[in-house]
Each structure stands twice: as structure tokens, then as C-alpha cells.
């Protein structure tokens, strides 16, 4: 029985691994981190954010914070209630839904006067390894989002059948 696990476990890991490898952690602003007077639109411009990727906002706690807002509040730098702030100085945001996302700093004037604001578009996960260097695809539609959700389920299904076949033969 034990030797079969030596076959089954690596098989499952191999099948599931590509999803894990595709995820990328982005430190917002790279070495500069999350602060005032950085052009975050320029920083984001050449990046293709995908579902499963993470944004890491790094700053001295107390100097800044992070609010996820909508497009209207982004334009006007309207700060939501304090309870919605991320404040750790190492704030990790997992991009789990495709579409546009907006982030601002809530310290007075940091967004409005000093441009501490970031807008990105998040694309569905599955296409990353097919087109890592291809131009940005069209904005996601509900249809391809549904298909891309099925891909990991399909992998798990195949893994389960493989495991069942090996174990059933014992």
C-alpha cells in the first residue's frame, strides 16, 4: 500500500502544481513600496495581474494605510470608514475576482495631492501560462470566467480518478 502512495501523491502534486506556479506576488511600488509621490500607474502599466496573484503593500505602519475603493471614490479620493483600512505595513491582498480594482491611501492629502493611488485590472487565472508574453487579452467576460473556474476542478477530477485506479488495483 505504501509504495502506491509514492506514486499517487507525486501524480496529484504534478497535476495541481501548474496552478500554484502561476501565482505571482507583486510588491506595490517595488523598492519604493507604498508611499507618496510614486507613479503607481506607471508601475502597474507593464504588469498582467491574474486571479490568484497577490499585491503586497509595504510601508511604515502609521505613515500610510490601504483602502480598497470603487472607481468613483478612486477619482475623488473619498476615504471609506477607518474600519475598512489595512494598516499592518505589510498588507497582502489576494486578487480573487477578475475586473478593475482601486486602492488609495487614506491619510489626508496622500491620495488627492500626492498621488498615492493604484488602479489595476485583474484578468482570469487560467490563461497566464498560455500567453505570458502575449498582449493583454480583452476584458474578461462571464463566459470565459466560468470556463476558467472549471479547469482546476477538472484537474482535481482527473487526479481523483488516477488515485482511485491505482488504489483499486491493490
Ligand X SMILES: *[C@@H]1O[C@H](CO)[C@@H](O)[C@H](O)[C@H]1NC(C)=O
- Which residue ranges make up the site for ligand X (CB under 6 A)? 70, 72-73, 80
Helix (H, G, I), strand (E, B) or coil at 33: coil
- Distance set, CA 75 to CA 16, 72, 85, 126, 163 (Å): 40, 5, 18, 31, 52
Q: In what order do the strands lie in the sheet with 49-50?
A: 49-50, 117-123, 99-104, 67-69
2 binds, among Cu ion, ligand X, none (CB under 5 to 8 A by kind): none
The site partner of 73 among Cu ion, ligand X, none (C-beta below 5 to 8 Å per kind) is ligand X
* Binding characters for Cu ion, 89-108, by CB under 5 A (x = yes): ----------------x-x-
Which lies closer to ligand X via its Cβ, residue 77 or residue 95? 77
Based on the number of CB atoms within 10 Å of its own CB, is 25 exposed (0-12), middle (13-18) or buried (19 or more)?
exposed
For cell 509595504, the residue is 58
Which residue's CB atom is positioned nearest to ligand X?
A: 70
Quick note: the x/- pattern for Cu ion over 55-94, rule CB under 5 A, is ---------x------------------------------
Q: Taking the complex as a whole, how short is the minimal distance between the CB of residue 78 and ligand X, in angstroms?
A: 6
- The residue among 33 and 98 lying less far from ligand X, judged by its C-beta, is 98
With residue 121 as reference, give the H or E element that holds it: strand 117-123
Strands 67-69 and 49-50: unpaired
Contact (Cβ atoms closer than 8 angstroms) between residue 51 and residue 123: yes
Task: Name the binder of 110 from Cu ion, ligand X, none, CB < 5-8 A by kind.
Answer: Cu ion
Distance of closest approach, residue 23 Cβ to ligand X, in angstroms = 28
- Residue with Cβ nearer ligand X (73 or 144): 73
Chain residues in the site for Cu ion (CB under 5 A): 64, 105, 107, 110, 116
Amino acid at each position: 500500500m505504501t509504495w502506491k502512495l509514492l506514486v499517487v501523491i507525486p501524480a496529484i502534486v504534478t497535476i495541481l502544481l501548474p496552478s500554484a506556479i502561476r501565482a505571482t506576488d507583486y510588491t506595490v511600488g517595488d523598492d519604493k513600496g507604498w508611499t507618496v509621490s510614486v507613479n503607481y500607474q506607471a508601475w502597474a502599466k507593464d504588469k498582467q495581474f491574474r486571479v490568484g496573484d497577490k499585491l503586497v503593500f509595504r510601508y511604515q505602519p502609521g505613515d500610510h494605510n490601504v483602502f480598497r475603493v470603487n472607481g468613483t471614490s478612486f477619482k475623488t479620493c473619498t476615504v471609506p470608514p477607518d474600519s475598512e483600512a489595512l494598516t499592518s505595513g505589510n498588507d497582502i491582498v489576494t486578487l480573487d475576482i477578475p475586473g478593475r480594482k482601486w486602492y488609495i491611501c487614506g491619510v489626508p492629502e496622500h491620495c488627492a495631492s500626492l498621488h498615492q493611488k493604484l488602479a489595476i485590472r485583474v484578468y482570469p487565472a487560467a490563461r497566464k501560462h498560455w500567453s505570458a508574453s502575449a498582449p493583454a487579452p480583452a476584458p474578461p467576460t462571464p463566459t470565459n470566467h466560468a470556463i476558467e473556474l472549471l479547469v482546476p476542478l477538472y484537474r482535481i477530477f482527473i487526479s481523483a480518478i488516477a488515485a482511485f485506479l491505482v488504489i483499486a488495483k491493490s
